[in-house]
Structure 1
């Protein structure tokens, strides 16, 4: 009589990681879809004039801007989550908890985006809510990075040139909270300006770290050294 063999721990771990990836991808996809569903069509009755349509679309400009910004940051979170998890082969309870925090923030982004589009130019609290949701997502990504490396779950654990980018974006989101109150009526502009600055600084820092890393590596033209000393 044949017996069912228990799969190796590595196979079980890879399946668990695959399920975690599948759940995360599904939440990201749903959140991105909900962002688009919040874009309303102007109600102008039958046979509106082109001028009326143009005016109505312009009036919805803040909603379109909030959609583009939120879609962008959501796609960045998805990319960074995959980057932090690409070397992970086995899950850990702490890693699952941190991922749930990330997915919680991503799920709340459509609400925060709709709030930003409707009242972003009127109240500082709206910028604080939007920045707070994004700060939670970024903090969760940083915790995922730390957990994967601290528990030895990442096969390629170690500092990466792009590591500071997430910290810079987190600082930008935190600075957006007081900026929303200091510049009433221009909180969205201040938020986007801070993100652009953090993005440019992050690009510069990453490029510099990569150059430093490639400069410290042995040149391709040098002959490899025999470790035996012969």
Structure 2
């Protein structure tokens, strides 16, 4: 048997590093599952006297809104991750580090959600703006890490399945860049107008990414099949 010439990161005395996509995906799925679980821990049953439970549950609406927004946020990140790595046939150190960066920023979502939820429940305007800013920064950071991952894959077509179009990941970079701008806009709206308006943007952004989770390039191809 000859040496594996498909690996660009083989080291003497060790296995090649490129055929590791299954381990990378298993690890990533586990991290996403833990993050999803952590989100629900912020939903605590209210401690109230008799006859006050229903009112107290309604008062916790900011926690419910923050949970739904963040759940969709993380779920769409998982869908994007699945969509991207379904097109990847080989892995390497560079791709692994970019993937870890995406997981790092996604893991911050439960903390930002908890802070924002608490600020909304307590009703202080200054704290609400701070919570919005923190959540927007985490969302922007996550978009930046996705931008880096997509840029890496756009530049390393040798890691992709041969059927993947050369225009797919460059279009995904534009989708990630829209997230950076969207979360920056939400922070500004939260400070200049109302934190509740920022929450609307926070909810709309994951919906946009959910609708385009298969990629902007494929959506364009469906609309213009002969273009």
TM-score, normalising length: structure 1: 0.76
In the alignment, structure 2 segments of 5+ residues that lack a partner are 8-14
2:205 counterpart of 1:195: yes
Cross-structure match for 2:12: none
Counterpart selection for 2:221 from 201, 210, 224: 210
Q: Deviations over 1:101-132 (max 9, x none)?
A: 11111111110011111114633221111011
**How many angstroms apart in 1 are the aligned matches of 2:40 and 2:210?**
27
Q: Deviations over 1:36-63 (max 9, x none)?
A: 1111011125xx22xx111101111100
Deviation at 1:182, TM superposition (A): 0.8
Deviation at 1:87, TM superposition (A): 1.8
2:23 counterpart of 1:39: no
**How many angstroms apart in 1 are the aligned matches of 2:203 and 2:44?**
26
**How many angstroms apart in 2 are the aligned matches of 1:215 and 1:133?**
39
Q: 2:183–2:202: 8 Å Cα contact kept in structure 1?
A: no
**How many angstroms apart in 2 are the aligned matches of 1:124 and 1:168?**
22
Larger Rg: 1
In the alignment, structure 1 segments of 5+ residues that lack a partner are 217-230
2:189 counterpart of 1:179: yes
Q: 1:168–1:198: 8 Å Cα contact kept in structure 2?
A: no
**How many angstroms apart in 1 are the aligned matches of 2:76 and 2:210?**
15
Counting matched residue pairs gives: 207
For 1:126-145, list aligned pairs within 5 A: 126-145=131-150
Deviation at 1:149, TM superposition (A): 2.4
2:168 aligned counterpart, secondary structure? coil
Deviates more, 1:31-40 or 1:91-100: 91-100
1:186 aligned counterpart, secondary structure? helix
Counterpart selection for 1:154 from 136, 160, 180: 160
TM-score, normalising length: structure 2: 0.77
Deviates more, 1:71-80 or 1:90-99: 90-99
Cross-structure match for 1:77: 77
Counterpart selection for 1:28 from 6, 29, 32: 32
Q: CA RMSD in A?
A: 3.1
1:168 aligned counterpart, secondary structure? helix
Q: 1:172–1:198: 8 Å Cα contact kept in structure 2?
A: no
Deviation at 1:34, TM superposition (A): 0.3
Deviation at 1:189, TM superposition (A): 3.6
